[in-house]
Chains A and B, each alone.
Chain A
Amino acid sequence: MDLFRSEDMNLAQLIIPVESAHHAMTYLGELGLFQFKDLNSDKSPFQRAYAKQVKRCGEMLRKVRFLKDQLAKAGIPVSKGTLTSKEIDIDELEVKLTELEIELTSINSSSDILMRSYSELLEFQLVLQKAGMFFYSVQSNARAQQRELEESSSFRVEESIESPLLLEQEMLKEPSKQARLGFIAGLVAKSKAPAFERILFRATRGNVLLEQVPVEEPVLDPATGEKMEKIVFLVFFSGERAKLKIMKICEAFGANKYPFPEDAGKQAQMLDEVSARLLELKATIDAGNRHRDNVLSSIASDIELWDSTVKREKAVNHTLNMLSVDVTRKCLVGEGWCPVSAEPQIQDALQRAAYESNSQVVTIFQVIKTKEMPPTYFKTNKFNGAFQDIVDAYGIARYKEVNPAVFTIVTFPFLFAVMFGDWGHGICLLLAVLWLLFNEKKYSSQKLGDIMSMAFSGRYVILLMSIFSIYTGLIYNEFFSVPFPIFGSSAYYCSDSTCSTAYTTGLVKTQSAPYVFGVDPVWHGSSTELTFLNSLKMKMSILIGVAQMNLGIFLSLCNGLYFKNDLNIWYQFVPQIIFLNALFGYLSILIIVKWCTGATADLYHVMIYMFLSPTADLDANQLFPGQKYLQITLLLLALVAIPWMLFPKPLILRSRHIKESQGHTYNMLRDSEHDIVDLDHENDETDQEEFEFSEVFVHQMIHAIEFVLGAVSNTASYLRLWALSLAHSELSSVFYDKVLVLTWGYQNVIIIIIGFIIFAFATIGVLLCMETLSAFLHALRLHWVEFQNKFYEGVGYKFSPYSFATMDEEE
């Protein structure tokens, strides 16, 4: 019963000599069973003793991130596996990281320069090709036009087509106007092209000719090194001022201008030159990249190790910052919580650390007495961890409080199964969870999606849920809403052909004994099916509910006994158990009596008139003799229990308080020293909490009212077990009857297949996913509210030790 109450905890003080502090922290981190208190919370992070080291680790982490980034960019896979295989000296690592960073940055910067000129050349090549093509096409057009002109008239055009374009033509035609027509060629990003054109037009008042040719493939931009869609442009303009303006606009738009010769021969020559240089550059860049890849692949196997080493180092220094430095600066003083059972391990770790650092002084480990509430620590394993999480989600148990998780392991899947009773669905769920369990090793090491990781972490809960729902499914005798006579044939047979629509009178009992296990399959499909099942499930829900609530109240007794709180036992537990059982315990007994005797008494009537007119005769509803007097007694007991719950506890607390304060006044008169010490001790406790009678009383009143009303409403709340189970069986019978049976009737293979597909999807989607979820949530509610509010305070805080393992998990 380790899980029943949380582990014993001690507040311990560590006095660690400075020289062995680092080692001690490393070992404690590996052990992971010590929760340090921050003793320097008034100091800001950079004023603490080890702030420099933390900063250094932050810097190293940045370098590691940089290297990882580089690895990812180069597409080199980071190999995992060899974690914690060898110790790395942190100083060496720092030097190494710095060297690597410098080396990589220098490689990167030189390759950046190369890439830049490479992409510039590439762009130049593009300009030469595209603009050259444009010039060529214009030229050939012009030549064709000239030929036409020559053919149509004898008028000879003077200028030769071979001479460079436009420029000379213009000049020859209008020699008076000495405007030089120039042009600029270059590349601009495609997204900026329209704006570029617009601005050019506006700036030169339309005296410009812009020719654009899109580049098919994205080009590397020399400035940013990113791939972009670009266009090659040619701007023709006249005049120096326009040129200046256009240059400025080009600059503003980040357009790269390239010198473009007009002469076709020169163009070809330049194109050759550019291509040759491109080849050269390409070779250089490749060599550079190979060098970089070599460097990177040499670190690929180590990077994860470095990463975790640096992170641990950071965690160690971070924890060291929580210790207070002794005045002499010779040792560090730390305080924290640890489980009593782990003390030998901790001391062992500390000794190893002292030994390894050749320290003359051993670390002192001493337990301090404190009134502070220790953290709550449950040693969980992979099986009960998920159940503990269910409880923790509501609130962490107070230190040493009864842990409802122990009972939750069984009751949670059971209540779920009561709502999810169908052994067909149960088997589906079981298969799914078995698959998870078989692949447990694989899944636990990898990262899963949100929903998947939720299902995986709750795999043992689901396993129990599915097994229990197979069990309840057998009791309900439902397999995808079809009954199976597994446990022998029905105890009834049909007296006539109207059997399926008959009431119980239409059926004749053949065997004297009832059906061996669960519900008789004959009920299925009969017109009394719902009436019978509702009555059965409703009563069952009340029985389960009353049982679980009684368990809850008994657990409050356990708490009372453990914490030696007599008040809670006598003035809370006793009246509560009387109140609940006088009313609903009695109802449960009536239910069982009715089941056993087969009486036809109306239990509603009995319960309602027990309150309305307790003295009236029960007549036909009497189940056993003397029932009336028993009822009056029970009712009186319940009525007495209410003020019992309400008044004594606050009044006794008040009188105790008054007595104590009187004792305080007179304590100097007593001569026994022991008494005085004791009293002082008590006063310390009471001084911490101001006693306010009205507050205590209101608090108690709220509790009492909550319990009295809660007894009714919680019992009613357990009826959700019936409602959900009804909804589940009705839904599955609708899917079965209205889809599968209906399509089966058509005798057509395709329709049957379609029908089966719809049935399968409805079953998986609605029944297996949504119904599971809703039954889960309702079971959760029944535990959190109806069960736990009887005894569970949940005001503790969790033990969160300083540990490398949890740190790695969080990453």
Chain B
Amino acid sequence: MYGFEALTFNIHGGYLEAIVRGHRGGLLTAVDYNNLCQCETLDDIKMHLSATEYGPYLQNEPSPLRTTTIVEKCTQKLVDEYKHMLTQATEPLSTFLEYITYGHMIDNIVLIVTGTLHERDVHELLEKCHPLGMFESIATLAVAQNMRELYRLVLVDTPLAPYFSECITSEDLDEMNIEIMRNTLYKAYLEDFYKFCKKLGGATSEIMCDLLSFEADRRAVNISINSIGTELTRDDRRKLFSNFGLLYPYGHEELALCEDFDQVRGVMEKYPTYNLIFAKLSYGESQMLDKAFYEEEVKRLCLAFEQQFHYAVFFAYVRLREQEIRNLMWISECVAQNQKSRIHDGIVYIF
């Protein structure tokens, strides 16, 4: 019921919304980043982080730190918070929260399948998986030889099963296939999530659909850019785009035809929102595109907190925390490898 969420939202969602807003208050600010950027060693970073909400997670780490430990512990905090919220949540918020993790599940599946293709140790691969995207039988993925087996053996039990309907083939798995599988899955996932949010209605659908559209458009652009110069046909490329978003459907047709980055840029500049992003980049420069997109995303995610009584804050919080962890990883890497001059290139300031 649009406009009436305020009346009933707090019955089930009030506590968790308060929790998530509290967590958001713990996100690092520009001042924190400035201080972190001045760190000389990883121990300095630890010392600074111990004054933030990450403190309890890092305090028991013995001193020669590694970047991976920092990232791992910071992720652990996010996972703990997420699990706490998930256990407290009722329907439909719990389903919504689960939807947030499906993206990580897809990434994890792809990671393990690719890893086994290259005959890497499964346990080593499992450690690299994002803990939010873990599911019970994830390790069994290594058994599968092709898409059909993958589906039949493992994925049929996971929430991702319906998304597989479009990509079941008996072909053996190879790099290209996996990448196509990832994108098909993502497409199905985003569409499903989009539909689910539409069904929820109210401010949730309004904000979430906007955020998801942005996500879908970003993926479409990335797919277009990455598939330039590969064997992927135009029709196949077109099939990987999610069927919603600002670019749908005309932008998709045009993107499918693009042959180089400047053509993509030409297509995107027709859309005022994306025009601003591309305006920041000079011609022919595609490396900075990711950061530009991240910055735009963070801006939109922060705006989600401006409204009350909707679920998008949970999505936004998890995404912002992930961005923060990416920032921390970048800073730690720069500090560890003595590349302090590049430290500002990778940080997406959240506040």
Asked if B69 is at the interface of the complex by the 8 Å CB criterion, the answer is no
* Interface pair B47/A55, CB less than 8 Å apart: yes
Interface residues on A, range: 20 to 34
Q: How far is the CB of B188 from chain A (nearest CB, A)?
A: 22
Q: Mark B54-82, 1 if CB is under 8 A from A, else 0.
A: 00000111110000000000000000000
What chain B residues lie within 8 Å of A44 (beta carbons)? 35, 38, 48
Asked if B137 is at the interface of the complex by the 8 Å CB criterion, the answer is yes
Q: How far is the CA of A208 from the CA of B143 in the complex (A)?
A: 16
Q: Mark B112-137, 1 if CB is under 8 A from A, else 0.
A: 00000000001000000000000011
* Interface pair B137/A195, CB less than 8 Å apart: yes
Knowing A46-B39, A65-B60, the reply to whether A252 touches B48 (Cβ < 8 A) is: no
* Interface pair B142/A45, CB less than 8 Å apart: no
Contact partner, A202, options B44, B47, B153, Cβ 8 Å: B153
Q: How far is the CA of A206 from the CA of B50 in the complex (A)?
A: 54
Asked if A291 is at the interface of the complex by the 8 Å CB criterion, the answer is no
* Interface pair B43/A55, CB less than 8 Å apart: yes
Asked if A245 is at the interface of the complex by the 8 Å CB criterion, the answer is yes
Q: How far is the CA of A65 from the CA of B62 in the complex (A)?
A: 11
Q: How far is the CA of A522 from the CA of B242 in the complex (A)?
A: 89
Chain A residues 50 to 104 lying within 8 A of chain B, measured CB to CB, are 51, 54-55, 58-59, 62, 65-66
What chain A residues lie within 8 Å of B143 (beta carbons)? 199, 203, 245, 248-249, 252
What chain A residues lie within 8 Å of B137 (beta carbons)? 195, 199, 252-253
What chain B residues lie within 8 Å of A245 (beta carbons)? 143
* Interface pair B47/A249, CB less than 8 Å apart: no
What chain A residues lie within 8 Å of B38 (beta carbons)? 44, 46-47
What chain A residues lie within 8 Å of B35 (beta carbons)? 44
Q: How far is the CB of B262 from chain A (nearest CB, A)?
A: 43
* Interface pair A46/B59, CB less than 8 Å apart: no
Of all chain B residues, the one with the shortest Cβ separation from A248 is: B143
* Interface pair B140/A66, CB less than 8 Å apart: no
* Interface pair A51/B136, CB less than 8 Å apart: no
What chain A residues lie within 8 Å of B157 (beta carbons)? 195, 198
* Interface pair B60/A249, CB less than 8 Å apart: no
Of all chain B residues, the one with the shortest Cβ separation from A246 is: B143
Chain A residues 299 to 345 lying within 8 A of chain B, measured CB to CB, are none
Asked if A680 is at the interface of the complex by the 8 Å CB criterion, the answer is no
Asked if B7 is at the interface of the complex by the 8 Å CB criterion, the answer is no
Of all chain B residues, the one with the shortest Cβ separation from A202 is: B153
Q: How far is the CA of A123 from the CA of B153 in the complex (A)?
A: 28
Asked if A262 is at the interface of the complex by the 8 Å CB criterion, the answer is no
What chain A residues lie within 8 Å of B44 (beta carbons)? 46
* Interface pair A248/B47, CB less than 8 Å apart: no
Asked if A286 is at the interface of the complex by the 8 Å CB criterion, the answer is no
Q: How far is the CB of B164 from chain A (nearest CB, A)?
A: 15
Chain A residues 198 to 250 lying within 8 A of chain B, measured CB to CB, are 198-199, 202-203, 245, 248-249
What chain A residues lie within 8 Å of B122 (beta carbons)? 251-252
Knowing A65-B60, A203-B153, the reply to whether A58 touches B50 (Cβ < 8 A) is: yes
Q: How far is the CA of A47 from the CA of B38 in the complex (A)?
A: 9
* Interface pair B47/A192, CB less than 8 Å apart: no
What chain A residues lie within 8 Å of B59 (beta carbons)? 58, 62, 65
Asked if B289 is at the interface of the complex by the 8 Å CB criterion, the answer is no
Q: How far is the CA of A262 from the CA of B136 in the complex (A)?
A: 33
* Interface pair B140/A199, CB less than 8 Å apart: yes
Q: How far is the CA of A254 from the CA of B157 in the complex (A)?
A: 19
Q: How far is the CA of A235 from the CA of B40 in the complex (A)?
A: 56
Q: How far is the CB of A657 from chain B (nearest CB, A)?
A: 39
* Interface pair B47/A62, CB less than 8 Å apart: no
* Interface pair B47/A46, CB less than 8 Å apart: yes
What chain B residues lie within 8 Å of A59 (beta carbons)? 63
Q: How far is the CB of B54 from chain A (nearest CB, A)?
A: 14
Q: How far is the CA of A228 from the CA of B142 in the complex (A)?
A: 25
* Interface pair A199/B136, CB less than 8 Å apart: no
Q: How far is the CA of A252 from the CA of B137 in the complex (A)?
A: 8
Q: How far is the CA of A253 from the CA of B35 in the complex (A)?
A: 44
Chain A residues 760 to 798 lying within 8 A of chain B, measured CB to CB, are none
Knowing A202-B152, A203-B153, the reply to whether A51 touches B140 (Cβ < 8 A) is: no
What chain B residues lie within 8 Å of A66 (beta carbons)? 60
* Interface pair B60/A45, CB less than 8 Å apart: no
Contact partner, A51, options B47, B61, B153, B154, Cβ 8 Å: B47
* Interface pair A45/B140, CB less than 8 Å apart: no
What chain B residues lie within 8 Å of A45 (beta carbons)? 47-48, 51
List 18 extra interface pairs beyond A46-B39, A251-B122, A251-B142, CB under 8 A.
A44-B48, A46-B38, A46-B40, A46-B44, A46-B47, A62-B59, A62-B61, A195-B157, A198-B157, A202-B156, A248-B142, A248-B143, A249-B140, A252-B137, A252-B141, A253-B137, A253-B139, A253-B140
A-B contact pairs, 11 of them (CB 8 A): A46-B47, A46-B48, A51-B47, A58-B50, A58-B59, A62-B59, A192-B136, A203-B143, A248-B142, A248-B143, A252-B137
